[in-house]
């Protein structure tokens, strides 16, 4: 109650200021973007609390990528090309490619990980297995009919891109295109999250900033060349 | 709820689970059929009955009923109140949703300690009573169209706050509400997702909660729905009736303007 009263007080101060600022113009103007951002930040601080393994300090830690992308989403447009390129480059640096240069992993293990939507909620233990959540958003194998559509279908994805042997040196070039396709759809960061959750780091969810944890790109169909040079993706990306 | 219908529904689900060879179309058709069957008997009726009783019964340290509670349309007016909430209330100088308003009334009229509810547990004690009350109150506006007021500056600010919350990414997966509810025609696995950035249509999204959930046999309010969305997002837990939950209600409710309420709905 105390918290919401404090927020209301903030609302009220701004509201009074708004009304006073435009006396005679029926008070229709809204607070500035900066004022709204400050109020939103206060609201967030007043509303959330630690629970289980999910901590305020980690979940709301300052993140330039999120800040810029969220602001653009709230404003109803995409981020500008220069910012996008900068954020993309910064995020690419956080991906760790396989040290042995082998991009094709154990697909059976990958399927198991893709099926699991468990882990990392406030009900989960820090050392419980983290699923990849892949089928929640993507079609992958033909056999699994219960798949989501938030992301594009990944069924035969490599084949559609002309990859015949994922382990061939030639596949590397193709994988660049895979990477670009995925970025264009704003999925790069999502893939990083999906990929890194099964690193087998028993305490990955408990401490530190797991957002910056390494990716595991060897999930079939999700490989991206390690020497990939990030290029600006097309418009319509939501960041 | 008729037991044989539940049994039949369970059998249909069992069939779905075992015959993966079915074409997807027939599977979704079977699920639709299952959902249709559920509509025939909604256990939410039991919560409605409990809610009505709680509204009229003298309770709490002040031994009073809630019949003088002002839900935004004047003391004691229930019909139509739900489709205009959350809204601004002068007495508390706050924008409140149905549940936080009920907490205020239980506190001021009946003398019940709000902390009991805010720090309580889902389905237990006074918080469970709020769920029953919310179900009954909301049901009195069934089939009415959402029309949240935005005339007060605080209501307009609350909408902007809700929009900020809706697009805020965070937690281990960087998900926001918009990740799942920002576009038309998307689904998680086979579950359809309403686009909550606009009016998603009659009886879906904001116009569907409180709802009875068959999968766990619980009555869920919008506060409960939001709480579990945040859990699945791997986000932080929001406090019960915390400012962000109210702001999200304003954002979804204003966006749903004109949508007919299906509350109390029934969900898988």
Residue B206 contacts residue B260 (beta carbons within 8 Å): no
- Least confident span in A125-134, B27-36, B46-55, B187-196: B27-36
Q: What is the pLDDT of residue B183?
A: 95
- Nearest-Cα distance to chain A for B166, in Å, is 8
Write b or e for each residue in B50-86: b if 16 or more Cβ atoms lie within 10 A of its Cβ, otherwise e. bbbebbeeebbeeebbbeebbbbeeeeebeebbbbbb
Nearest CB to B244: which of A47, A66, A123?
A: A47
Q: Report the distance separating Cα B205 and Cα B177, nearest Å.
A: 12
The answer to whether residue A236 scores a pLDDT higher than 80 is no
Residue B26 domain-assigned? Answer: yes
Distance CA A208, CA A224 (A): 26
Torsional class of B63: left (φ above 0), alpha (ψ -120 to 50), beta (otherwise): left
Q: Of B85, B112, B139, which residue sits at a domain end?
A: B139
In this prediction, residues B220-232 reach a mean pLDDT of 98
Are B86 and B250 in contact by the 8 Å Cβ rule? The answer is yes
The CATH code of the domain that includes B95 is 1.10.760.10
Identify the domain containing residue B223 by its residue range.
153-267
- Whether chain A has a CB inside 8 Å of the CB on B245: the answer is yes
pLDDT exceeds 90 at position A168: no
Q: Is B239 on the interface with A (CB under 8 A)?
A: yes
User: Lowest-confidence range among B34-43, B100-109, B170-179, B244-253?
Assistant: B34-43
> Which of A172, A70, A111 minimizes the C-alpha distance to B170?
A70
- Identify the residue with better confidence: B119 or A188: B119
Considering the domain architecture, whether residues B62 and B132 belong to the same structural domain is answered as yes
Kindly state whether residue B147 falls inside one of the protein's structural domains. Answer: no
Domains of chain A by residue range? 2-92, 107-212
CA distances in angstroms from A93 to A58, A63, A213, A234, listed in the order given: 20, 15, 11, 20
Contact A54 B237 (CB under 8 A): yes
Q: Does B235 contact A56 at a Cβ distance shorter than 8 Å?
A: no
CA dist B137 and B222 (Å) reads: 13
Could you write out the three-class secondary structure of B27-38?
A: HHHHHHHHHHHH
- Domain end among B108, B139, B170: B139
Q: H or E stretch including B267?
A: strand B265-267
Closest in A70, A120, A193 to B167, CB measured: A70
pLDDT at A229: 31
> Does residue A169 or residue B152 have the better pLDDT?
B152
Task: Return the number of CB contacts < 8 Å for A and B.
Answer: 165
Do B250 and B72 meet the contact criterion of CB atoms below 8 Å apart? no
Residues B53 and B20 in one domain: no
Q: Which of B139, B174, B192 is the last residue of a domain?
A: B139
Q: How confident is the model at residue A180 (pLDDT cuts 50, 70, 90)?
A: low
Q: For chain A, say whether B177 makes contact (Cβ under 8 Å).
A: no
> Distance between CA A46 and CA B114 in Å, rounded?
17
- What is the average pLDDT across B16-42? 63
- Residues B256 and B158 grouped into a single domain: yes
Cα-flanking dihedrals φ and ψ of residue A91, to 5°?
A: -75, -35
What per-residue confidence (pLDDT) applies to B177? 97
Within A103-157, strands assigned E span none
Residue A206: CB atoms within 10 Å:
14
The two tokens of residue B228 are 């579990």
pLDDT at A209 over 80: no
The 10s digit of each residue's pLDDT in A54-68 is: 999 999 998 989 999
Write the residue in A4, A18, A37 that is nearest to B153 by C-beta. Answer: A18
* ipTM of the complex model: 0.88
pTM over 0.90: no
Element spanning B192, H or E: strand B191-193
Q: What is the pLDDT of residue A93?
A: 87
Q: Residue B212 in 3-state DSSP?
A: strand
Helix (H, G, I), strand (E, B) or coil at B64: strand
How far apart (Å, rounded) are the C-alpha atoms in residues B203 and B256? Answer: 10
Q: Which residue is closest to A152 within chain B, CA to CA?
A: B186
Residue A101 binned pLDDT confidence (cut-offs 50, 70, 90):
confident
pLDDT at A99: 79
Q: Which of B69, B177, B180, B229 is catalytic?
A: B229
What per-residue confidence (pLDDT) applies to A171?
A: 55
What is residue A107's predicted lDDT score, i.e. its pLDDT? Answer: 85
A218 pLDDT above the threshold of 50: no
- pLDDT band, residue B30 (cuts 50/70/90): confident
pLDDT score for B261: 98
Clarify whether residues B204 and B261 are in a common domain. Answer: yes
Can B229 be counted among the known catalytic residues? yes
Mean pLDDT (chain B) is 91
**Better-predicted residue by pLDDT, A14 or B185:** B185
B81 to chain A, minimum CA–CA distance in Å? Answer: 22
CA distances from A86 to A61, A97, A141, A215 (A): 20, 20, 35, 19
Question: Per the structure, how many domains does chain B have?
Answer: 3
Q: How far is CA B164 from CA A163, A194, B63, B161, B168, in A?
A: 42, 25, 41, 5, 6
What is the number of other CB atoms lying within 10 angstroms of the CB of residue A22?
12
- Which positions in chain B touch A123 (Cβ < 8 Å)? 231
Which is more confidently placed, A157 or A111? A111
Reply yes or no on whether the pLDDT at A39 is more than 70. yes
Q: Whole-angstrom Cα distance, residue A73 to residue A54?
A: 25
| B 11-30: CB under 8 A from A | 20, 22, 24, 27
Residues B217, B223, B224, CA angle at the centre, nearest 5°?
25
What distance in Å separates residue A80's CA from the closest CA in chain B?
18
Lowest mean pLDDT among A90-94, A101-105, B92-96, B207-211: A101-105
Return phi, psi of residue B96, to 5°: -130, 145
Partner residue facing A48 (CB), from B173, B234, B238 = B238
Are A69 and B186 an interchain contact pair (Cβ–Cβ within 8 Å)?
A: no
Tokens of B181: 């509810």
Residue B249 to residues A84, A186, B118, B165: CA-CA distances in angstroms?
A: 31, 28, 17, 11
Q: Which residue has the higher pLDDT, A178 or B104?
A: B104
- pLDDT tops 50 at residue A2: no
Residue A222 · residue A190 · CB < 8 Å: no
User: What is the spatial distance between Cα B257 and Cα B263, in angstroms, rounded to a whole number?
Assistant: 15
Structure tokens at B263: 């509350």
* Three-class secondary structure of residue A26 per DSSP: coil
Instruction: State yes or no: pLDDT of B151 exceeds 90.
Output: yes
Residues of B in contact with A20 (CB under 8 A): none
pLDDT bucket at A81, cuts 50 / 70 / 90: very high
Q: Residue B81 has what pLDDT?
A: 98
Tokens of B37: 């069957």
Whether residue A15 and residue B157 make contact (CB cut-off 8 A), yes or no, is yes
Same structural domain for residues B133 and B50?
Answer: yes
Does the pLDDT of residue B9 top 90, yes or no?
no
State the pLDDT at residue A103.
72
Domain presence at residue B146: no
Q: Say yes or no: B163 and B262 in one domain.
A: yes
Task: Say what the pLDDT of residue B205 is.
Answer: 96
Confidence band (pLDDT; 50, 70, 90) for A92? confident
Per-residue pLDDT, A185: 45
The whole-number average pLDDT for the span B183-212 is 96
What is the distance between the alpha carbons of residues B261 and B137, in angstroms, rounded to a whole number? 12
Mean pLDDT of B3-21: 49
- In this structure, are B262 and B199 located in the same domain? yes
Out of B28-37, B160-169, B185-194, least confident range: B28-37
* Co-location of B244 and B186 in the same domain: yes
| High-pLDDT (> 70) share of chain B, % | 89
């Amino acid at each position: 109650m105390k918290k919401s009263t404090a927020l209301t007080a903030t609302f009220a101060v701004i509201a009074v200021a708004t009304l006073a600022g435009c006396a005679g113009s029926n008070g229709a103007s809204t607070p500035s973007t900066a004022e709204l951002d400050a109020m939103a930040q206060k609201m967030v601080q007043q509303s959330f609390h630690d629970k289980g393994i999910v901590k305020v300090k980690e979940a709301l830690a300052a993140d330039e990528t999120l800040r810029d992308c969220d602001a653009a989403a709230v404003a109803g447009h995409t981020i500008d090309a220069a910012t996008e390129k900068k954020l993309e480059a910064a995020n690419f640096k956080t991906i760790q490619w396989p040290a042995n240069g082998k991009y094709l992993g154990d697909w059976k293990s990958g399927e198991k990980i893709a099926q699991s939507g468990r882990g990392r909620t406030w009900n989960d233990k820090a050392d419980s297995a983290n699923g990849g959540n892949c089928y929640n958003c993507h079609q992958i194998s033909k056999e699994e009919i219960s798949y989501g559509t938030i992301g594009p279908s990944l069924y035969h994805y490599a084949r559609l891109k002309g990859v015949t042997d994922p382990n061939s040196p030639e596949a590397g070039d193709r994988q660049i295109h895979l990477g670009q396709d995925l970025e264009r759809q704003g999925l790069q960061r999502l893939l990083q999250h999906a990929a890194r959750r099964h690193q087998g780091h028993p305490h990955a969810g408990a401490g530190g900033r797991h957002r910056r944890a390494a990716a595991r790109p060897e999930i079939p169909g999700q490989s991206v060349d390690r020497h990939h040079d990030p290029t600006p993706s097309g418009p319509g990306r939501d960041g | 709820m008729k037991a044989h219908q539940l049994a039949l529904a369970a059998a249909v689900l069992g069939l779905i689970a075992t015959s993966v060879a079915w074409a997807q179309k027939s599977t979704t058709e079977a699920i639709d059929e299952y959902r249709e069957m559920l509509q025939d008997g909604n256990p939410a009726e039991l919560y409605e009955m409990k809610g009505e009783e709680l509204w009229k019964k003298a309770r709490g340290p002040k031994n009073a009923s809630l019949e003088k509670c002002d839900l935004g349309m004047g003391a004691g007016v229930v019909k139509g109140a739900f489709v205009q909430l959350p809204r601004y209330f002068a007495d508390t100088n706050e924008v409140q949703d149905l549940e936080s308003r009920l907490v205020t009334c239980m506190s001021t009229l009946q003398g019940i300690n709000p902390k009991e509810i805010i720090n309580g547990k889902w389905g237990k004690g006074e918080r469970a009573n709020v769920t029953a009350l919310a179900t009954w109150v909301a049901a009195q506006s069934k089939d009415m169209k959402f029309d949240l007021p935005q005339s007060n500056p605080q209501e307009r600010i609350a909408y902007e706050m809700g929009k900020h919350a809706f697009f805020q990414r965070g937690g281990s997966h960087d998900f926001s509400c918009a990740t799942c509810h920002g576009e038309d025609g998307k689904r998680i696995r086979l579950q359809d997702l309403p686009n909550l950035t606009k009016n998603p249509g009659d009886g879906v999204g904001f116009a569907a909660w409180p709802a009875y959930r068959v999968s766990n046999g619980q009555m869920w309010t919008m506060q409960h729905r939001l709480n579990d969305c945040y859990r699945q997002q791997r986000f932080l837990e929001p406090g019960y009736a915390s400012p962000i939950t109210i702001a999200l209600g304003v954002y979804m409710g204003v966006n749903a303007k004109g949508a007919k309420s299906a509350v109390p709905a029934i969900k898988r």
